[in-house]
Amino acid sequence: MSHARTDLPSSHLDWSAYAPSAFGGLFGDPFGTPDPTPVDGFRAAAGACNGRQACLSKDPGTVMCPSFRATGDPTHATEHRARTVQAALAGQYGDQPFASEAVIHALSWCLGCKACKRECPQAVDLAALAVEARARRWQARGGAPLAVRLLADAPRLVGRLGPLARLREMLPGGRWLVQRLFGIDARRALPRAARRPFFQDLPAVLGPESGHDVVLLVDDHTALFEPAVARAALDVLLAAGCRVFLPRSADGRHGLASGKPALSAGLVIQARREAAVLLETLAPHLDAGRPIIGLEPSFHLMLRDDLQMLGLGEGAPRLARHALLLEEYLARESAAGRLHLPLRRGPWRQVVVHGHCHQKAFGLMPALQATLGLIPGLTVEVIDAGCCGMAGAFGLQADNYAVSMAIAEEALLPAVRAADPATGVVANGMSCRQQIRHGSTRLGLHVAQVLQAALDPGETA
């Protein structure tokens, strides 16, 4: 059992795990090496920016920084944001610096894309700085606003607030009323819970006992809103001969929360609580050495990154070493000659691929391309685009709608609209698929769904 840190009085995150180094590459080590030396890691992380202004470039193939690229305003670039946090720590904005307008403005359009962690020469992790700053802001004002707490707790609230969401669509002016009350933009469609959640009637283990043991960690959002993605991944793993373990909530009905939405909102206590439950649930699988396979990049890659900053003890780095996205696992097994996945030509001859920001930050696009390359006759083209602009709850908020769409229009949406109607659109991020549907009417597919459609039924067990 992990032993959580209790000596975090000044910072909300455990900055002792912070290391000023970029992410590892394909199948690389998780970021950061825990440092036993007590330092003011938050101050050090903010001070990593040395003013070289690499974040002010808009070079092809880069992501940093989405809001700056869309607006051209340097106050929304990584350097200005880091400098603002430095100034707040230096006491330049009064007794409650993180509740000041200067800090709020600087961090308001940080999408948490993690591009700065990879692309900045100093590996400034602005996403982590923003989490700490938001947590201090909520502490200064006595708590987070209701809208922030609702968006961070969406899966658990859907059952209770489902009627409200339906009224939003049915009542004249309902969308505008919800925007006024909760800040959710009236132009956005809210994700709807599936009629049949993923875990309904599914056993805890499927597949042959002789198969390679894997854990399919279906997060709470995917299980509730897009169970077809989880079902596709399960079909692919079973077709590959795996014995698949399906951990879930204590009541057996829901996916496990990673804590990512709460963490992004600065609700660190909630994120730590959810992550602790996740660690406890996965402990037997980690003891058995099973790979933990995930589907949603932002949720699953948190296990190799932000989880190390929640003060959860030795269990966090252990989980980080076992966490792989589906495409990483399949690409690794294929490269090692261990993958036997019966695939034939699928319904698409060509797909265009939009990489999730965190896939790019972790250097995982080669794994995605290699996995799609397993399908006979499939041509794969990666869209040269940065962020989609949605970033979970960010794009739902009315104050962010214009910049969210401007980010998407920089490259992603024009490329999707220009694609032949017979070409598939692959986007592993749930938010990315929402933005693509909103801005182009095209349906985005998870790599698991593309693989599922190409499974050879004559050879599938």
Q: For residues 311 and 394, state if they share a domain.
A: no
Q: 266, 299, 333: which is the final residue of a domain?
A: 333
The pLDDT, as a whole number, for residue 335 is 97
- Asked if residue 287 belongs to a domain, the reply is yes
In a domain, 27, yes or no: no
Give the Cα separation of 410 and 79 in Å (integer): 21
Q: Kindly state the DSSP code that residue 219 receives in the 8-state scheme.
A: B
- Report the relative pairing of strands 205-206 and 242-245 from DSSP bridges: antiparallel
Is the domain of 416 the same as that of 368? yes
- Given 333, 354, 386, which residue is the final one in a domain? 333
Q: Residue for token digits 């610096």? A: 97
Considering the domain architecture, whether residues 328 and 346 belong to the same structural domain is answered as no
- What is the residue range of 164's domain? 146-182
Domain boundary among 333, 361, 376: 333
**CATH number of the CATH domain containing 226:** 3.40.50
| Phi then psi dihedrals of residue 216, to 5 deg | -95, 105
**What is the tally of structural domains in the chain?**
4
Same domain, 136 and 159: no
8 Å CB contact between 248 and 256: yes
Do residues 214 and 318 both lie within one domain?
A: yes
Q: What does the alpha-carbon distance between residue 420 and residue 415 come to, in Å, rounded to a whole number?
A: 10
CA distances to 54, 208, 288 from 213, rounded to whole Å, are 44, 9, 9
Model pLDDT, residue 340: 96
Q: In this structure, are 314 and 426 located in the same domain?
A: no
Q: Are residues 229 and 316 in the same domain?
A: yes
Per-residue pLDDT of the chain (461 residues; tens, 9 = 90+): 444 433 333 689 998 867 665 444 333 333 333 333 334 688 888 888 888 888 988 888 788 899 999 999 999 999 999 999 999 999 999 999 999 999 999 999 999 999 999 999 888 999 999 999 999 999 999 999 988 998 888 777 765 666 777 778 888 899 998 899 889 999 999 888 888 889 998 999 999 999 999 999 999 999 999 999 999 999 999 999 999 999 999 988 899 999 999 999 999 999 999 999 999 999 999 999 999 999 999 999 999 999 999 999 999 999 999 999 999 999 999 999 999 999 999 999 999 999 999 999 999 999 999 999 999 999 999 999 999 999 999 999 999 999 999 999 999 999 999 999 999 999 999 999 999 999 998 999 999 999 999 999 877 55
240 lies in the same domain as 157: no
pLDDT at 186: 94
Domain contains 17: no
Report the pLDDT value the prediction gives residue 9, as an integer from 0 to 100: 39
170 and 255 in one domain? Answer: no
Same domain, 329 and 436: no
One domain for residues 136 and 48: yes
Q: Is the model's pTM score more than 0.85? A: yes
Give the pLDDT score at 159: 59
154, 137: one domain: no
Which residues are within 8 A (CB) of 446 and not within 5 positions of it... i.e. 6 or more apart?
A: 226, 229, 232, 233, 295, 426, 427, 428, 433
Residue 7 belongs to some domain of the structure: no
Give residues with Cβ within 8 angstroms of 95, minimum separation 6: none
Q: Would you state the pLDDT for residue 158?
A: 65
The pLDDT, as a whole number, for residue 20 is: 61
Instruction: Give the pLDDT of residue 26.
Output: 30
Distance separating alpha carbons of residues 297 and 229, to the nearest angstrom: 13
Q: Is residue 15 part of a domain?
A: no
Cα-trace Rg, the chain: 21
pLDDT of residue 248: 96
Q: In degrees rounded to 5, what are phi and psi of residue 243?
A: -95, 120
